[in-house]
Structures are given as structure tokens and as C-alpha cells.
């Protein structure tokens, strides 16, 4: 992509940049390293006045999910990653899936796909400070980054939707929201994190889960007329109303190559009735890039299995 001459930026451009010079066949081009989880969402029903979504009505709904670290390398050391992630697919009986991908930062540094692309280039060129200086909208992100301390567990991070969505109840009635998965730590483990182990976080999580369930409170923040739901660089004020939708209880974890999260694409535009996308342009770019990454890795997995069959 040559953004200087008005050429349109494509999903292929994004994924080419994200995968770098060596593609890791069969793996996600971003957030390549992770593992699958499964659990139940215990919905409080507190969001039901705002949305007709099946899983926001009181009840218990299964989900499958994936914890990951940002980056293109499926063997990267867990503790070196600047961003950690939690993705879920809620599975109500109505066949209306809700796919969600969340990251540790609450905001983006820049608000458009074109600038996000330039930011990825700046990361690869080691020119991030200059990039932030040239993009004053990155202020909230830079502030978050300066105070954020990575924790010693995937189970004790807070994961954010970053982009806003609408909850819809009846025609013409909508409420802008952002959400976060907020850790509810109930169990501690005795073993210390082995900082020399590339899979330290993954092992910690599996050990923790053996000792008991891992839970997150799924908290929604309501936007007001003063908030721009289409600009993910701005943090909404703490004074905004917060409502807990219920508890995400995780009771199973599986290596990603053996788990049913691996083949999924956590496309943020796969939404059930009662939830709708805002006009935030990042959301469209994400849907297109995830599809392109999914296409590449799915094709490689099929090719591998065909080759394997021929040798059997």
C-alpha cells in the first residue's frame, strides 16, 4: 500500500504487513500465540432493558474463547508481549453468535485504519515515539501505556472492547456502549511464574484452572451524548453509568491446535440481533483483515493435511 498517493488500503495490505516477511503457516497473522477456553456466561439480565440479545436476558449461555498475545509469532515468549487478549464466542441456542475480541488497552492510539496501518509500520521501523508525537489523538493511549503494568496471569488482566457498539431493544432505540472483561480472582496458585519459560503465562493459566474456575465480570459502560462512539482514541469518563451483564466463568482450557477456537475468526462484526456496530471505521477494517488472515491460515491447514495424507 502506498498511502501517500491516495491508493486505497486493503485487507491484504494489512495482513501482509502484520505477518511480516515469514508467514507462520496455519497460524493467525496477528495474535498468533494463544490457547482455547470454554465456559459459561451467567447473565444477570441487567442489560435486558437495553438489548434484545438472547445472551443479555438472564440465564446461562455457553461460550468458547481464546486468550492470546499480540504478534505474528506462534512461539513468541508470553512475557515479552505488549498486549494480551481475550476473545469469546457466545453460543445461545438461537444460533445467533456474538463474537468478541478484546485487548488490554482501553483505547486505540489512532482512530482510522489508514493511521493504524502507519502505526504498525512505525512499530516495525522503531519510530513509535515520533509517530505518537505526530498524532496528538494518541494521548489517551500513551497515558494508559505509561501506567499499565502487565500482571502475572491472563486471569488478572482487564480486557476492553476498545471500539463502541450499540445495544438495541426496540426499533429506533439504541444505546452506545463499550465493555470490558474485569477479572474476579478467587483462586491463587502457589507456583511462581517462570520468567525464562516462553509459555509462562499459558502454563500459569492451565495450573490456575486446575485449582478452580477463572471468572470475569462482564462490565458495560454506557455512552452519553457527550461521547463520540465512532472514535476509539477517546476514553469515556469514569462518571458514565456502568452495568454488569453477568459473569464469564471459564472451566476448561485446551492447547490451540487441539481446541475448537483455532478454526474460528473472532470477527467483531458477527453480532446477534440486539447488538449493532457503530460507524467506527476501525470495525470494518478489522472484519476485513480477520477474514483475510482466516483465509490464509485455513488454506494452509488444508494444504498441510492433504500433503500429510499423500505420505500415509
Residue numbers at the binding site for ligand HEM (CB under 6 A): 14-15, 18, 28-31, 34, 66, 68, 85, 87, 101-103, 108, 113, 116, 161-163, 265-266, 282, 285-286, 289-290, 293-294, 297
Cell of 84: 494480551
CB 193 within 8 A of CB 119: no
295, three cell numbers: 483465509
Q: Which CB atom, from 191 or from 252, has the smaller least distance to ligand HEM?
A: 252
Least distance (Å) from ligand HEM to the CB of residue 209? 17
User: Minimum distance from CB of 113 to ligand HEM (Å)?
Assistant: 5
In terms of CB distance, is 43 or 293 closer to ligand HEM?
Answer: 293
Q: Which is nearer to ligand HEM, 10 or 127 (CB)?
A: 10
Question: Could you tell me the smallest distance in angstroms from the CB atom of residue 14 to ligand HEM?
Answer: 4
CB nearer to ligand HEM: pick between 53 and 88? 88
> What's the closest the beta carbon of residue 86 comes to ligand HEM, in angstroms?
7
Ramachandran region of residue 45, left (φ > 0), alpha (ψ -120 to 50) or beta? left
Q: What cell numbers appear for 170 in the block?
A: 426496540
- The answer to whether 240 and 227 are in contact (CB under 8 A) is yes
Smallest separation (angstroms) from ligand HEM to the CB of 311 = 27
Nearer to ligand HEM, 54 or 180 (CB): 180
Shortest distance, position 107 Cβ to ligand HEM, whole Å: 9
| CB of residue 245 to ligand HEM, shortest distance in Å | 17
Minimal CA–CA distance to 247: which of 52, 50, 51, 40? Answer: 40
Nearer to ligand HEM among residue 43 and residue 265 (C-beta)? 265
Mapping DSSP onto H, E and C, the string for the chain reads CCHHHCCCCCHHHHHHHHHCCCCCCCCCCCCCEEEEEEEEEEECCCCCCCCCCHHHCCEEEEEEEEEEECCCCCCCCHHHCCCEEEEEEECCCCCCCEEEEEECCCCCCCCCHHHHHHHHHHHHCCCHHHHHHHCHHHHHHHHHHHHCCCCCCHHHCCEECCCCEEEECCCCCEEEEEEEEEEECCCCCCCCCCCCCCCHHHHHHHHHHHCCCEEEEEEEEECCCCCCCCCCCCCCCCCCCEEEEEEEEEEEEEEHHHCCCCCCCCCCCCCCCCEEECCCHHHHHHHHHHHHHHHHHHHHHHHHHHHHHHHC
**Which CB atom, from 10 or from 139, has the smaller least distance to ligand HEM?**
10
Q: What's the min distance (Å) between Cβ of 263 and ligand HEM?
A: 9
Which CB atom, from 24 or from 203, has the smaller least distance to ligand HEM?
Answer: 24
Amino acid at each position: 500500500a502506498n498511502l501517500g498517493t491516495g491508493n486505497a488500503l486493503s485487507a491484504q495490505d494489512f495482513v501482509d504487513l502484520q505477518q511480516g516477511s515469514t508467514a507462520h503457516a496455519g497460524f493467525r497473522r496477528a495474535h498468533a500465540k494463544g490457547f482455547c477456553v470454554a465456559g459459561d456466561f451467567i447473565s444477570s439480565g441487567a442489560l435486558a432493558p437495553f438489548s434484545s440479545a438472547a445472551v443479555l436476558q438472564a440465564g446461562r449461555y455457553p461460550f468458547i474463547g481464546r486468550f492470546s498475545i499480540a504478534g505474528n509469532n506462534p512461539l513468541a515468549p508470553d512475557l515479552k508481549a505488549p498486549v494480551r487478549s481475550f476473545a469469546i464466542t457466545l453460543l445461545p441456542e438461537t444460533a445467533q453468535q456474538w463474537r468478541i475480541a478484546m485487548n488490554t488497552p482501553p483505547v486505540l492510539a489512532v482512530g482510522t485504519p489508514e493511521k493504524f496501518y502507519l502505526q504498525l509500520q512505525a512499530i516495525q521501523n522503531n519510530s513509535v515515539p515520533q509517530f505518537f508525537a505526530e498524532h496528538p489523538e494518541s494521548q489517551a493511549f500513551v497515558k494508559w501505556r505509561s501506567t499499565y503494568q502487565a500482571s502475572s496471569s491472563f486471569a488478572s488482566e482487564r480486557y476492553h472492547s476498545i471500539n463502541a457498539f450499540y445495544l438495541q431493544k426496540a426499533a429506533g432505540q439504541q444505546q452506545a456502549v463499550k465493555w470490558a472483561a474485569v477479572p474476579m480472582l478467587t483462586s491463587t496458585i502457589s507456583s511462581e511464574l517462570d520468567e525464562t519459560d516462553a509459555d509462562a503465562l499459558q502454563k500459569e493459566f492451565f495450573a490456575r484452572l486446575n485449582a478452580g474456575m477463572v471468572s470475569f465480570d462482564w462490565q458495560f459502560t454506557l455512552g452519553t451524548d457527550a461521547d463520540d462512539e465512532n472514535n476509539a482514541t477517546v476514553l469515556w469518563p469514569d462518571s458514565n453509568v456502568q452495568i454488569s451483564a453477568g459473569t464469564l466463568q471459564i472451566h476448561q482450557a485446551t492447547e490451540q491446535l487441539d481446541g475448537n477456537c483455532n478454526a474460528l475468526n473472532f470477527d467483531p462484526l458477527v453480532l446477534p440481533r440486539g447488538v449493532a456496530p457503530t460507524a467506527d471505521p476501525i470495525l470494518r477494517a478489522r472484519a476485513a483483515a480477520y477474514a483475510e488472515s482466516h483465509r490464509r491460515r485455513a488454506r494452509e491447514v488444508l494444504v498441510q493435511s492433504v500433503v500429510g495424507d499423500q505420505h500415509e
